[in-house]
Chain A
Amino acid sequence: MKRALGHSWQAYLFLAPALILFAVFSFWPVGYGSYLAFTDYSLIKPAHWVGLDNFRYIFDNAMFVAGLKNSLLFLLIVPAIQVGAMALAVLVNNNLPGIRLFRAAFYVPVVTAISVVGIMWGFMFHEQGMLNYVLMQLRLVNQPVGWLSDDAIALFSVMFVTIWRGLGWYMVMYLAALQSVPAEMQEAAILDGANRWQRFWKITVPMLMPTIMVCTIMSVLAALKAYQEVLVLTQGGPLNATFTALYYAYDQGLKHLKLPRGLAASFVVSLCCIAIMLPCLRYFRPKHR
């Protein structure tokens, strides 16, 4: 017993540096920020408890409500990005000439600065930009499409950019997982007469399940927290069509310095993240331990 206690103290000692960093840079800001969401904090005046006032304010605000709906709509990218990333990973997992170049090319958007992404896609999506030019040359559309100026399309354009940015990251995760699937299992299945499709569904996908879980959770969080693409492409327009809940938090908290409202919006986004993640974790929990 004494020995076990001694061991656990040692473990905590080794964990301490990381825990201290977490406490200072994660737990404390999250805890204190959550508290401030229930106050009238204004940077120059002491904070007073105001209960749910900030939450009433944001839910009474059409922009936040629209933003929350858009954030939930953003979840549509999750299946698209997962299926796309997995398909890409399967493709680049082959030993073809120049395959490394493809792997690198798909990863480039991940490391591209968001400001560059904004400028580049701004040009692409412009009414007189490349995308419309190509579509019109191919006679697929008669007049330029307002990719970022039509409120019915703009959110999907922004979502597309988010998918484009994230695809390479998840592809690498799946690629690593694919390469760790034991070759013997595939060989045994071939000997047993399994075809390519059966091997994929019966061996590869189950072996990838932990990676699928991590990637799904990460992409759910990324979807609910989307705001960078909005900032560089549309600033929430047209007609609030691309306003997301976290962009509202940024707009209120950092742009207009109404921190409690921004924090209240962030708090709601966090609750949504937890509410959506819990069933995900339950669904992906390993059935056999």
Chain B
Amino acid sequence: MSRYRLLAASLAIALSFNAYAAATEHIEFWTMSLKPKFVPYFDDLVKRYQAQHPGVEIEWVDFPADLIQTKLVTRIVAGSPPALVNLNVPWADEYARDGLIVPIDSLLGDGKSSYVKAALDDLTFSGKTYGFPLYSNVTVIAYNTQLFKQAGLTRPPQSLDEQLAYSVQIFEKTGKAGFSPSLAKADGFMLQQGLPILTDGKAAFNSPQHVALIEKLAKAYKAGGILKDSLFAEDNFPAAIAAYNGGRLAMLSAPPTAVKRIQSDASDIYAITDIAPAPLGPTGIVDGGWLIHFAVPAGVNPKLMPEVAKFARFITDDENQLAFAKLANVFPTTIAAANDPYFQHLPPNAGASEKAVAIGAESMKRSRTLYVAGIEDYDELRRALVNAVEAGVTGKRDPKAALDAAVVIWNKKLAKQAH
């Protein structure tokens, strides 16, 4: 008799376990470079969601930015992708073209109206939306007031021309570089200055205006106004902030998050730092708009999609975006959170960090992710453009000749793609 009881009990346990397993929906989401600083925030977020949604199990995984793409593609190929993954806009554009992420219009539902339109526009490729906006960033200028004073400057620059002239003046008076533009993103730099990269499907960055821009940069470079450290590296930010923190750079064009870093890494420099809005180009667009969002990879179980949509909307809703933005010194991408008083009013006795947030919030309205969408092998073409800019700026080649050569490379490639 006892043997039957044991068998029945085992069966009951197995069945109940099976029922539990069937009821549990597992959602894995990936973020980019947010550990360890944001562990308490995400742990709390996961706990809250699981408490509100019994039967749903959330797993948070964080990868460094340089690893996340390889990990993601590997998991998609293996047929076990995460339900949501943090991407930036250029990656999302490329992945959408390759079919590695799926449109989320049906998952957005009514929630679509809660996001800032510019953010959704950045994530719309061929008429379809490919991500839940999470946060965005915008460039402000952190400047060293002491170096400004020594150079006889009384106010921050208001245009690129002024910024270049200031840089040369700073170098002449102090021996320190003025600023470090992000020239590896030469395409965004030109677009922000109202200079097109493509016209009628052909490369158009060798016009007299483009050449004039390179010549201006070359002049400042030659005069010592521009920081040479990693100037054309894919990411010159580490070199630029290291130079600023070391007192070797007068102006740092960076998001408000960087100002927090100055505060923690170089308190003496932070004490003499003031903040100004980044100069608007003729387009009225602020450089450095960098939207991070959650995309849904191809191959996610369709049955899981409703729960994925719920969780994605939860993690990017007003309340959570606001909390994260305050914590990380970034900007929310929902309308209500972006209009929160925190981003609108500068507290009395505000330091450079708070000032950066307030000034950045104002600039956010004019911020976009500047790049050229929809081109196969875009990174390779961009490298040809950056090489041309590097040759022109450093005086290795005549700017016009360098840009002409890059245009030939682009048009050859674009013509092949058109066929």
Contacts and interface: CB of A to CB of B under 8 A. Distances in A.
A127 B228 contact: yes
A257 B70 contact: yes
Contacts of A186: none
A126 B377 CA distance: 32
A181 interface: no
A43 interface: yes
Which 6 residue pairs across A and B have the least CB separation, nearest first?
A43-B77, A43-B73, A239-B390, A239-B387, A237-B232, A257-B73
A61 B396 CA distance: 21
Interface of B: 69-70, 73-74, 76-77, 98-100, 228-229, 232-234, 248, 298, 377, 379-380, 383-384, 387, 390-391, 394, 396, 409
A237 B231 CA distance: 11
Contact of B379 (A127, A146, A240, A256): A256
A239 B391 contact: yes
Contacts of B396: 151, 239
Nearest to A60: B412
Contacts of B228: 127, 146, 149
B184 to A, nearest CB: 9
Contact of B409 (A43, A62, A149, A240): A62
Contact of A254 (B70, B298, B394): B70
26 contacts: A42-B98, A43-B77, A44-B77, A44-B98, A44-B100, A44-B298, A61-B380, A62-B384, A62-B409, A126-B229, A127-B228, A128-B248, A146-B228, A149-B228, A151-B396, A235-B233, A237-B232, A237-B233, A238-B232, A238-B390, A238-B394, A239-B387, A239-B390, A239-B391, A256-B380, A257-B73
B100 A63 contact: no
Contacts of B234: 235
Given A44-B73, A238-B232, 15 more contacts: A44-B77, A44-B298, A128-B248, A146-B228, A149-B228, A151-B396, A235-B233, A235-B234, A237-B233, A238-B390, A238-B394, A239-B390, A239-B396, A254-B70, A257-B69
Contacts of B383: 63
| Residue of A127, A254, A257 contacting most chain B CB atoms (<10 Å) | A257
B93 to A, nearest CB: 14
Nearest to B379: A256
A239 B387 CA distance: 6
Interface of A: 42-44, 61-63, 126-128, 146, 149, 151, 235, 237-240, 254, 256-258
A69 to B, nearest CB: 16
Contacts of B69: 257
A275 B248 CA distance: 49
A245 B74 CA distance: 25
B99 A44 contact: yes
Nearest to B402: A239
A151 B228 CA distance: 14
Nearest to A61: B380
B96 to A, nearest CB: 13
Contacts of B391: 239
Contacts of A126: 229
A211 to B, nearest CB: 40
A238 B74 CA distance: 32
Nearest to A234: B233
B394 A44 contact: no
Contacts of A238: 232, 390, 394
A105 B396 CA distance: 40
Contacts of B377: 258
Nearest to B100: A44
A145 B218 CA distance: 19
A225 B396 CA distance: 29
Contacts of A61: 380
A258 B379 CA distance: 12
Contacts of B387: 239-240
| Residue of A42, A44, A127, A146 contacting most chain B CB atoms (<10 Å) | A44
A202 B130 CA distance: 74
A149 B230 CA distance: 8
| Residue of A127, A128, A235, A239 contacting most chain B CB atoms (<10 Å) | A239
Contacts of A151: 396
Contacts of A239: 387, 390-391, 396
A239 B99 CA distance: 33
Contacts of A257: 69-70, 73
B76 A44 contact: yes
A118 to B, nearest CB: 13
A252 to B, nearest CB: 9
Nearest to B386: A237
A157 to B, nearest CB: 15
A20 to B, nearest CB: 25
Contacts of A128: 248
B318 to A, nearest CB: 35
Contacts of B379: 256
A256 B91 CA distance: 11
Nearest to B77: A43
Nearest to B391: A239
Nearest to B412: A60
A257 B377 CA distance: 11
A42 B383 CA distance: 22
A182 B174 CA distance: 66
B85 to A, nearest CB: 15
A123 to B, nearest CB: 11
A74 to B, nearest CB: 21
A237 B396 CA distance: 13
Nearest to A128: B248
A126 B230 CA distance: 10
A1 to B, nearest CB: 51
